[in-house]
Amino acid sequence: MTASLTFLGAAGTVTGAKFFLEAGPARVLLECGMFQGLRELRARNWAPPPIDPARLDAVLLSHAHIDHSGYLPRLSRDGFRGPIFCSPGTADLLRIMLPDAARLQEEEAEFRNRERATRYQPALPLFTEADAARALALVRPIPFEHPVEPAEGVTATFHPSGHILGASIVDVQAGGRRLVYSGDLGRYDVPVMRDPVAIEAADTLLVESTYGNRRHPADDGTPVIVRAVQRAVEQRGVLLVPAFAIGRTQDLLYLLRELESAGRIPDVPVYLDSPMGTHATAIYARHAEEHDAAARRVAEAGGEPFVPRGFRVARTREDSKRLNGLEGPAVIIAGSGMATGGRILHHLRRRLPEPRTTVLFVGYQAAGTRGRALREGADRVRIFGADVPVRATILATDALSAHADQAELLRWLGGFRRPPAATFCVHGEPAAAAALRDAIRAQLHWACEVAEDGARTAL
Ligand code: ZN
């Protein structure tokens, strides 16, 4: 039986991950990501699927991020009825992420129709909440290290990759060959998550390359967090943290609690003003089996790893609005992480004009976002149609990244006992993927290529 793999996304780009595995009659899709970002990429979500969803046996999913899972509702709408295998943590996160992605799609279509800002009449959502519910009904959680048979003659095992809760390295046997896909790889010695599991062998290896040309800062992010909290206390102001609901929000809550108990910051009220972040934090707390030793020790000693002393949750929209009257010092964590939407916007509009406000960015800020403009020192930003002057102090750190940098990717690759017959760099912008390929060739002396979109390779 011969087996082959076709790259249908995340080849030369970071979004839209889809790898199509054929082994004899078996047809399995590895990842089912949505394309995001540039218009040409997003248009690909609307093209007819390059494979017939009804003829797929199963989907294997590395983790819940939308660039890996967001096309699932569309796939099920277009006829896919097979099982979707993923880790238990991923399954739980999908239950909040897919309906949320559907709501965004429906809101955007509604907005375009209202504003007539569309070339298509009427504008339609890529998928709806009903499509998301149909996809969720197909999800089958499989514990780490338990092999599953997604199709006849194919077995798959999930190993923790340390990137976010549930994130997996996917290890597939098909046609007598072993295909290892790194998924998104996390980092070593970071809070909460364990290190990526080392893999010793593969015939074909797909390795992500998001930061294949980058080196993260050597510090763990705590110096700038300490500085930001101290400034809020000195100024009796509010520290605003725009944060991604999944991963970054939990890291931040964990670090604030650690810094408090180590006496490095004073106790301050910490408001989590993000419904999705609140939900995700509960899921993180529930999956203690995925925490590293330090986080587990906190729980074993009777503590709650994600609960700083002054922790409060703003649940409703009214709770959120009431924070407008809040006097500092206090911390408000709210989405979205790049200040492109969500509750952080009304906090920024209210508090950016005040010099006693501090804003701390803890994640990547894409070009064209308000977050990027603020990080680059803009003296005013547009929010809800108003010109908002920026008199707050803006701080940022890249140390809380959830992706391995080049050195960490090479460290994980160093776990292989012999070179895979073929290695492909996936999930990276062209420069990042090429830089990782060059480093793999130069330092490991492996045969390595950047995956080419649409290309098919024998395993
Ligand atoms: Zn990811």
Q: So what's the architecture of 3-214+402-458 in CATH?
A: 4-Layer Sandwich (3.60)
Q: Compute, in angstroms, the gap from residue 312 CA to the centroid of ligand 1.
A: 28
- The pLDDT assigned to 367 comes to 77
Neighbours of ion ligand 1 (CB under 5 A): 65, 184
Give me the CATH topology for the region 222-396: Rossmann fold (3.40.50)
User: Residue 212: which of 416, 431, 395 has the closest Cα?
Assistant: 431
pLDDT-derived band of residue 85, with 50, 70 and 90 as boundaries? very high
- The pLDDT assigned to 118 comes to 59
Q: Compute, in angstroms, the gap from residue 184 CA to the centroid of ligand 1.
A: 5
- Tell me, what amino acid is at 66? I
Q: Compute, in angstroms, the gap from residue 86 CA to the centroid of ligand 1.
A: 14
pLDDT in tens, 248-277: 999 999 999 999 999 999 999 999 999 999
Contact between 314 and 331 (Cβ < 8 Å): no
Give residue 392's Cα distance to chain centre. Answer: 28
Q: Compute, in angstroms, the gap from residue 37 CA to the centroid of ligand 1.
A: 15
SS3 92: helix
Residue 117 has pLDDT above 70, yes or no: no
Residue 119 has pLDDT above 70, yes or no: no
Residue 18 has pLDDT above 70, yes or no: yes
Higher-pLDDT residue of 105 and 222 is: 222
User: Residue 66: which of 15, 19, 11 has the closest Cα?
Assistant: 15
Q: Compute, in angstroms, the gap from residue 183 CA to the centroid of ligand 1.
A: 8
Contact between 249 and 243 (Cβ < 8 Å): yes
Rg, C-alpha atoms of the chain:
22
Q: Compute, in angstroms, the gap from residue 163 CA to the centroid of ligand 1.
A: 7
Q: Compute, in angstroms, the gap from residue 353 CA to the centroid of ligand 1.
A: 34
Residue 448 has pLDDT above 80, yes or no: yes
Q: Compute, in angstroms, the gap from residue 457 CA to the centroid of ligand 1.
A: 24
User: Residue 335: which of 170, 96, 113, 20 has the closest Cα?
Assistant: 96
- Tell me, what amino acid is at 236? R
- The pLDDT assigned to 41 comes to 84
Q: State the Cα–Cα distance between residues 247 and 165, nearest whole angstrom.
A: 7
Residue 34 has pLDDT above 80, yes or no: yes
- The pLDDT assigned to 444 comes to 97
Contacts of 328 (CB under 8 A, 6+ apart): 232, 233, 235, 236, 237, 238, 239, 356
Q: Compute, in angstroms, the gap from residue 427 CA to the centroid of ligand 1.
A: 10
Q: Compute, in angstroms, the gap from residue 63 CA to the centroid of ligand 1.
A: 7
Q: Compute, in angstroms, the gap from residue 117 CA to the centroid of ligand 1.
A: 31
Instruction: Give alpha helix (H) positions in 323-369.
Output: 344-351
SS3 169: strand
- Give the pairing of strands 358-361 and 168-174: unpaired
Give residue 354's Cα distance to chain centre. Answer: 32
Q: Compute, in angstroms, the gap from residue 18 CA to the centroid of ligand 1.
A: 14
Q: Compute, in angstroms, the gap from residue 245 CA to the centroid of ligand 1.
A: 13
Residue 24 has pLDDT above 90, yes or no: yes
CA distances to 2, 61, 90, 283, 295 from 289, rounded to whole Å, are 37, 19, 13, 12, 10
- The pLDDT assigned to 122 comes to 80
Find tokens 């099920």 and name the residue: 76
Q: Compute, in angstroms, the gap from residue 10 CA to the centroid of ligand 1.
A: 12
Q: Compute, in angstroms, the gap from residue 121 CA to the centroid of ligand 1.
A: 34
Residue 105 has pLDDT above 90, yes or no: no
User: Residue 59: which of 35, 90, 13, 37 has the closest Cα?
Assistant: 90
Count CB atoms within 10 A of the CB of residue 1: 12
For the chain, what percentages of helix, strand and coil (3-state, to nearest 5) are there? 35, 20, 45
Contact between 196 and 414 (Cβ < 8 Å): no
Q: Compute, in angstroms, the gap from residue 185 CA to the centroid of ligand 1.
A: 8
In the chain, domain spans: 3-214+402-458, 222-396
pLDDT in tens, 266-316: 999 999 999 999 999 999 999 999 999 999 999 999 999 999 999 999 999
- Give the pairing of strands 168-174 and 154-160: antiparallel
Residue 292, sorted as left (phi over 0), alpha (psi -120 to 50) or beta, turns out to be beta
Q: Compute, in angstroms, the gap from residue 232 CA to the centroid of ligand 1.
A: 31
The encoded tokens of residue 328 equal: 């500092």
Average pLDDT, the chain: 94
Q: Compute, in angstroms, the gap from residue 231 CA to the centroid of ligand 1.
A: 32
Q: Compute, in angstroms, the gap from residue 390 CA to the centroid of ligand 1.
A: 32
Phi, then psi, of 4 in degrees rounded to 5: -140, 165
In residues, how long is the chain? 459
Positions of E strands within 281-366: 310-313, 330-334, 358-361
pLDDT in tens, 198-237: 999 999 999 999 999 999 988 989 999 999 999 999 999 9
Contacts of 280 (CB under 8 A, 6+ apart): 93, 96, 165, 245, 246, 249, 250
SS in 3 state form for 250-275? HHHHHHHHHHHHCCCCCCCEEEECCH
Q: Compute, in angstroms, the gap from residue 273 CA to the centroid of ligand 1.
A: 23
Q: Compute, in angstroms, the gap from residue 151 CA to the centroid of ligand 1.
A: 25
Q: Compute, in angstroms, the gap from residue 78 CA to the centroid of ligand 1.
A: 25
Q: Compute, in angstroms, the gap from residue 393 CA to the centroid of ligand 1.
A: 30
The DSSP code for 279 is: H
Q: Compute, in angstroms, the gap from residue 303 CA to the centroid of ligand 1.
A: 28
Q: Compute, in angstroms, the gap from residue 418 CA to the centroid of ligand 1.
A: 27
Q: Compute, in angstroms, the gap from residue 16 CA to the centroid of ligand 1.
A: 11
Phi, then psi, of 104 in degrees rounded to 5: -60, -45
Q: State the Cα–Cα distance between residues 391 and 400, nearest whole angstrom.
A: 26
Q: Which helix (H) or strand (E) holds 26?
A: strand 26-30
Q: Compute, in angstroms, the gap from residue 64 CA to the centroid of ligand 1.
A: 7
Q: For residues 91-116, give the mean pLDDT.
A: 89
- Tell me, what amino acid is at 451? A
pLDDT-derived band of residue 15, with 50, 70 and 90 as boundaries? confident
Q: Compute, in angstroms, the gap from residue 378 CA to the centroid of ligand 1.
A: 29
Is the four-CA dihedral 273, 222, 167, 307 of positive or negative sign? negative
Q: State the Cα–Cα distance between residues 396 and 401, nearest whole angstrom.
A: 12
pLDDT-derived band of residue 115, with 50, 70 and 90 as boundaries? confident
Q: Compute, in angstroms, the gap from residue 352 CA to the centroid of ligand 1.
A: 30
Contact between 183 and 19 (Cβ < 8 Å): no
Q: State the Cα–Cα distance between residues 446 and 218, nearest whole angstrom.
A: 28
Q: Compute, in angstroms, the gap from residue 65 CA to the centroid of ligand 1.
A: 5
Percentage of the chain modeled with pLDDT above 70: 99
pLDDT-derived band of residue 357, with 50, 70 and 90 as boundaries? very high
Higher-pLDDT residue of 71 and 15 is: 71
Q: Compute, in angstroms, the gap from residue 305 CA to the centroid of ligand 1.
A: 22
